[in-house]
Amino acid sequence: MDVFQYTFMQYAFISGIIIGLLCPLIGVFLVLRNLSLVADGIAHLSFGGLALGIILGLNPSITLLISSIVGGLGIDYISRKTKLYGDTATAIFLSAGMALGIVIISFFKGMNININSYLFGSILALTKAELILTIVVGGLSILIIYLIYRALFYITFDEDSAKASGLPVERINILFILVSAITIAISIRISGILLVSALTVIPVATAIEVSNSFKMTTIISLIVGVLSVLMGLLFSYYFNVASGGVIILLNVFIFMLSLLFKRFPWLFNYKVHNNKS
């Protein structure tokens, strides 16, 4: 196909596969721990960091990464140490980051930067340095989650029992927040700040609908994640629309199919299991 002739499309596809895997991989644990909003919080916060980095003349990818990590750890710390209800801490951080970004950008109107590509995602925007950053940092993150996968599963299902069994729960939690923040930061270029959390949440929601086991949920959400990103990039290229939006619309579409599949399996010519085994 002619799309692969272009270096920028090759870059987009390679990093697309990585974030298509990574986002649902952290998403499984975020969703099942009722922390779906945290990814959104981190992403919006990083907008402030991004704007700050731009006016200070720093590399936007690096400021994105740093502000995401600081934001992730901050949200985690504030929600644990204060008595704020539910995800209030996340909501406050989310607005604060966005507000900071908007104020900075409106103040320095003449900035030579395309903010839209960060907000909505753009396949054209990826540089070689960013690609390498994505491969190294993303690859490392996938490896970390792979190694602590079962421990995270235990903590997600029953944190107290995991603690009693002697698992270093606090350290694993911090590591997970770090990896989540990194994932959000490197995914923003493709899916955009406004939609990055959807890529962590929707493939998982789809997988939960159709699978019985934790393993299947993980596998299906990874497949949905990668497929939606790759198809979204192709759409985005041929119809010249923002990649983030297309990827998320595809995800929503697949999610709706999964709802149909669960309620009307015969529509898909699928035999219903007899539950009385």
Summarize as ranges the residues that interact with other proteins (CB under 8 A). Answer: 32, 146-148, 150-151, 153-154, 157-158, 160-167, 172, 207-208, 211-217, 275, 277
Query: Identity (one letter) of the amino acid at 224?
Result: V
Closest Cα partner for 182 from 35, 31, 81, 73? 73
We find the least distance from the C-beta atom of residue 32 to other proteins, in angstroms, to be 7
Across 255-266, b (16+ Cβ under 10 Å) vs e yields beebeeeeeeee
CB 203 within 8 A of CB 19: no
We find the least distance from the C-beta atom of residue 137 to other proteins, in angstroms, to be 20
| DSSP collapsed to 3 states, 15-35 | HHHHHHHHHHHHHHHHHHCCC
The residue (of 269 and 275) whose beta carbon lies closer to other proteins is: 275
We find the least distance from the C-beta atom of residue 188 to other proteins, in angstroms, to be 28
- Taking residue 43's Cβ as centre, other Cβ atoms within 10 Å add up to 29
The residue (of 151 and 248) whose beta carbon lies closer to other proteins is: 151
We find the least distance from the C-beta atom of residue 231 to other proteins, in angstroms, to be 25
The residue (of 128 and 215) whose beta carbon lies closer to other proteins is: 215
The residue (of 113 and 175) whose beta carbon lies closer to other proteins is: 175
The residue (of 112 and 212) whose beta carbon lies closer to other proteins is: 212
User: What token pair was written down for 59?
Assistant: 């590399």
We find the least distance from the C-beta atom of residue 214 to other proteins, in angstroms, to be 4
